[in-house]
Amino acid sequence: MPHHRKILAVTLSAAACAALAGCGSGSGAAPRAAAKSPTTKSPTAKGPDAKSGVNPAASAPAPGAARAALPLAGRTVVVDPGHNPGNFQHTADINKKVDIGTHPKECDTTGTSTADNYTEAAFTLDVSHRLRDLLKAQGATVVLTHDADRPFGPCIDERARLGNAAKADAVVSVHADGSAAGHRGFHVILPALVQSGAADTSKIVGPSRTLGERIATHFASATGTSPANYIGSGTGLDIRSDLGGLNLSTVPKVFLECGNMRDPKDAALLSNAAWRQKAARGIADGIGTYLKG
């Protein structure tokens, strides 16, 4: 609560003023009696501090200054949790095809799962929440394409439109792979050059690759895992032209397959909450270095 000081108004009679040395002299000197005024030592005085000469009001941070000092303030990141836990109950809906520019493709899929039935949809939502919190702590505006707050989807074309509508500085679609046992590691999927129908990735291929490279580097460092041993030739990068979420994006976007849910060793990591926090940190660090240039 702000403090208020009371101002004591003192009216001196002409006779009293005459009795005080310097009163009305035009010299500007304060009457000696005024030095005892309780208002001269108010702890809430607005003037410069007597010792430092600094005006507390002038040195106080302006409203919003703390937020402006955060490294990702003013930047917008769209986080796209792959699949939706409700997709399993809406297979007819997610099997309907949508146009991805190059060809029609199913609206969405159920995603994969570990042998212990930890689903990809549950994994991606958990990592996305952790990622959102880390990015917001750095000042970014974060938009989720869904938060398990709808029956199914969104479809892959709508996911792309959500990133476009947000005018995102970066979009990351979080996934986990469903490859064969023995296939281990993560990989980042980058958009290919596609110019077909509603799809035109010509403006985002370059920046998306930079975004993907930064995420791959920091993800490996944060999680201690290696690039996939079964795709990307050890680079951790894969280029695809068959994903609607990439084809229809007009802003820099990548997919991240955090590991292989069908491999027991990778599945053990993906199922571990502490490891998922490391994964979120790696993604956030990659996005941060990309946005900071």
Give the C-alpha separation, 88 to 173, whole Å: 20
Question: What's phi and psi for 207, nearest 5 deg?
Answer: -65, -30
Query: In this structure, are residues 274 and 223 in contact, taking their beta carbons and an 8 Å threshold?
Result: no
Give the rounded distance of the alpha carbon of 191 from its chain centre: 22
Q: What angle do CA 190, 229, 87 make, to 5 degrees?
A: 55
Q: What is the dihedral of CA 105, 109, 115, 119, to 10 degrees?
A: 140
Q: What angle do CA 170, 255, 253 make, to 5 degrees?
A: 25
Give the C-alpha separation, 245 to 291, whole Å: 21
> Which residues have a catalytic role annotated?
257
Question: What's phi and psi for 41, nearest 5 deg?
Answer: -120, 25
